[in-house]
């Protein structure tokens, strides 16, 4: 059995995203700066729009972060922004329209709740049904394993062309489709960054193909990349 995006995929994949207007500098409706340094002299630099609660969970050695700014707690619309740390400042390196769980966000994710988990998670492993486009993360190419999650002709058939595993309730250093769930099945799992298909997901975050290729070619394990994700209210707390 293979689970992806938090639920067993029975004929249809669970993750997506379309275009729509977005503030290139960050989250919709927010004037997120393209660079951010320390909020106070001597304090650790914060990612734009991220409050003290989640900032404390970003590892000190992390120099790359994908921040997913959710429109609202109950919205599937979001924006994914790639930041890279230069010196003491986080600077914008890319921005894409995105989608998250179709029911929005949660701080207590469970299997089948159709909400994406709020939090800070490492990014260590990638893969897809297409061959490696030049990923710097460990990449597992398996056209059978990923393609088997959708039916032929399904509108989600290309969702898993490229995926990056979000390290929520999973083992690191294994393929994204690995079934192990250290916190138990009920806590969900199989939550990925992957190709967008125009609407909400079961728990994954989706971006356009161009964004996935950029992330795969840019995220560097030596820079300890993380994803910081949630609705705007939770992110800024």
pLDDT digits (tens, 9 = 90+) for 128-151: 999 999 999 999 999 888 877 765
Q: Which residues pair with 230 in a beta bridge?
A: 69
- Is 184 within the bounds of a domain? yes
Distances from the Cα of 230 to the Cα of 42, 77, 161, 207, angstroms: 27, 11, 24, 15
Split at pLDDT 50, 70, 90, the class of 39 is low
**From start to end of the chain, where are the E strands?**
3-4, 7-8, 35-36, 64-70, 77-86, 89-99, 105-106, 116-117, 119-122, 125-128, 138-141, 163-165, 192-195, 205-207, 226-231
Q: Is the separation of the CB atoms in 24 and 210 below 8 Å?
A: no
- Is 185 within the bounds of a domain? yes
pLDDT tens-digit series, residues 180-195: 999 999 999 999 999 9
Distances from the Cα of 39 to the Cα of 89, 166, 195, angstroms: 11, 28, 34
Range(s) of the domain holding residue 221: 62-236
CATH code of 188's domain: 2.40.440.10
- Is 50 within the bounds of a domain? no
- Is 52 within the bounds of a domain? no
| Total count of domains within the chain | 1
| Residue with the larger pLDDT of the pair 8 and 109 | 109
- Is 107 within the bounds of a domain? yes
Split at pLDDT 50, 70, 90, the class of 34 is low
pTM of structure: 0.86
pLDDT tens-digit series, residues 212-221: 999 999 999 9
Q: What is the DSSP letter of 61?
A: T
Distances from the Cα of 3 to the Cα of 120, 146, 178, 211, angstroms: 21, 10, 8, 24
pLDDT tens-digit series, residues 78-111: 999 999 999 999 999 999 999 999 999 999 999 9
The helix or strand, by DSSP H or E, that contains position 210, with its residue range, turns out to be helix 209-218
- Is 108 within the bounds of a domain? yes
- Is 47 within the bounds of a domain? no
- Is 179 within the bounds of a domain? yes
Q: What is the DSSP letter of 236?
A: H
């Amino acid at each position: 059995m293979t689970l992806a995006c938090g639920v067993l995929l029975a004929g249809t994949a669970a993750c997506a995203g379309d275009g729509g207007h977005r503030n290139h500098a960050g989250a919709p409706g927010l004037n997120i700066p393209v660079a951010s340094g320390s909020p106070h002299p001597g304090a650790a630099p914060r990612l734009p729009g991220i409050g003290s609660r989640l900032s404390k969970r970003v590892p000190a050695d992390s120099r790359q972060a994908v921040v997913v700014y959710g429109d609202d707690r109950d919205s599937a619309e979001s924006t994914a922004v790639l930041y890279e740390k230069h010196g003491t400042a986080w600077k914008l390196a890319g921005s894409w329209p995105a989608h998250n769980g179709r029911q929005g966000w949660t701080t207590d994710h469970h299997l089948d709740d159709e909400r994406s988990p709020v939090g800070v998670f490492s990014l260590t492993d990638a893969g897809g049904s297409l061959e490696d486009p030049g990923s710097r993360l460990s990449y597992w190419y398996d056209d059978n394993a990923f393609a088997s999650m959708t039916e032929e002709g399904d509108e989600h058939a290309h969702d898993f062309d490229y995926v990056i595993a979000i390290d929520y309730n999973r083992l690191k250093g294994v393929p994204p489709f690995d079934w192990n769930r250290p916190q138990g099945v009920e806590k969900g799992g199989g939550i990925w960054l992957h190709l967008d298909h125009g609407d909400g997901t079961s728990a994954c975050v989706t971006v356009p193909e161009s964004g996935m290729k950029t992330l795969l070619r840019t995220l560097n394990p030596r820079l300890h990349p993380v994803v910081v994700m949630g609705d705007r209210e939770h992110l800024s707390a």
